[in-house]
Amino acid sequence: MIDTSTAPIKTNPRHLTPDGLAAAIFLAFLSTAGLFYVNLGGSFLSAFVDGLGLSRESAGYITSSNKYGAAFGAFIAVLLVKHMNWRKTAYFVLPTLILTDVISFQIADETFLIAIRFFHGSIGGFLVGLGLSVIARMQSPEKGYGMLLAVQYTFGSVGIFTVPKLVGLFGHAAAFGALITFSLITLAMVPFIPDYPPREKAPARPDGKKSSVMLVPLLLTLAAIFLFQTANMGVADYAFELGKDSGYTMSELSNLLAVANLISVSGALLVYSVGTRYGRLLPLMVGVGLAATFTLAFHFSEIPAVYFIANTVTGMTWAFCMSYFLGLIAAFDGHGQMAALGGVISKMGLASGPLIGAMVVGEGNFTLIINLAAGALVLCALFALSPALRLDRANT
């Protein structure tokens, strides 16, 4: 049976209750700040197209480099997370992240932007890996990850609604202003987050043996996460551009996608309220199946209702499934290293989606992007089947 040892006792009077709602929200901010540009969705990519006049292909390469940098930074976090004081590290990383965003909005050259955003991604990815490792030490990691996705979608909705309009008024710098603001808020929260030391007792393997993580289920889960993130991000990063080609104005798109994103929060909140009451296999199979189905619905984006519902449902399943994927990995590890590793693979997927999209989009080949994404989601379900079933049987 997977270890769910008691959460650390609150010792500092200014710290929040370790497994309370407020602590989960603050941890969600910590784990979001480094990658908040992802939650701005296609509005961040479109900021380069509309604000700087870059091509869709160039904008895709810039956002992709940001996410590959995040994967690199998260990998460094995997190596170091056991040996670092996460709070002191956050005090250093967050100001560096803010400074990099300040420099970024003063650059207009595509090549320099690719380089600086890769550096930004590396810092941010390290911070996200750190945050994920701390959430993995909670008594119920799934609930922590559920709140993480809820915060990301809520504030992502605000960004999707406001950033395109601000870009129209102030240029692409408005997108970076949103990132800086979020990082400043997060920095103010850090002193109040509980310590969350590593759990002393190592978790048991699902086969009952006293040893480290089982390699095959871990690799299958990581493969599923990669495919899931690649598929979703490949479509999401081009959601605005797909909408433009379907005849919608930027104002219509920002309003429609902001509402869809806000409704998507319900997927994360459902995880927070349900946890693992029904295991992990059933929620994952239902969630990924719905994601694949409604990804294909993007073929009919010229119909407003279909475009809106497709964005809403894929957003809900994205928030819902990722909570279980990360919880699946965290169940094997008391230190949070595997959760940080899951963050690495997640970011590789987030980066690969827009990269593949940039390679095939041309002047608007969204049909191929949609089909590739749906196929990747089907493969994702196949990879996730065995590890989720194995863990459910162990807990039974």
Q: What digits encode the pLDDT tens for the residues 239-294?
A: 888 898 888 888 888 888 888 888 888 887 887 777 677 788 899 999 999 999 99
The whole-angstrom separation of Cα 72 and Cα 356 is 19
| C-alpha 195, offset from chain centre | 23
Q: In the chain, how long is the greatest CA-to-CA distance?
A: 61
CATH of 21-395, one of 1.20.1250.20, 3.30.565.10, 3.40.640.10, 2.60.40.10: 1.20.1250.20
User: Residue 123 pLDDT more than 80?
Assistant: yes
The whole-angstrom separation of Cα 364 and Cα 235 is 12
Instruction: Locate 339 and state its tokens.
Output: 């959760």
On whether the CB atoms of residues 175 and 51 are closer than 8 A, the answer is yes
Smallest Cα–Cα separation from 131: which of 339, 347, 349, 344?
339
User: Residue 41 pLDDT more than 70?
Assistant: no
The whole-angstrom separation of Cα 371 and Cα 298 is 10
pLDDT single digits (tens) 126-155 = 999 899 888 888 877 777 887 887 888 788
Give the chain's mean pLDDT: 83
Instruction: Locate 337 and state its tokens.
Output: 């290293």
| pLDDT attached to residue 307 | 94
| pLDDT attached to residue 5 | 39
| pLDDT attached to residue 9 | 43
User: Residue 387 pLDDT more than 70?
Assistant: yes
User: Residue 10 pLDDT more than 50?
Assistant: no
The whole-angstrom separation of Cα 64 and Cα 357 is 10
User: Residue 3 pLDDT more than 70?
Assistant: no
Q: What is the residue extent of each domain of the chain?
A: 21-395
User: In terms of C-beta density within 10 A (0-12 exposed, 13-18 middle, 19 or more buried), how is residue 89 classed?
Assistant: middle
Better-scored residue on pLDDT, 385 or 202: 385
- As a whole number, mean pLDDT of residues 368-380 equals 94
On whether the CB atoms of residues 131 and 27 are closer than 8 A, the answer is yes
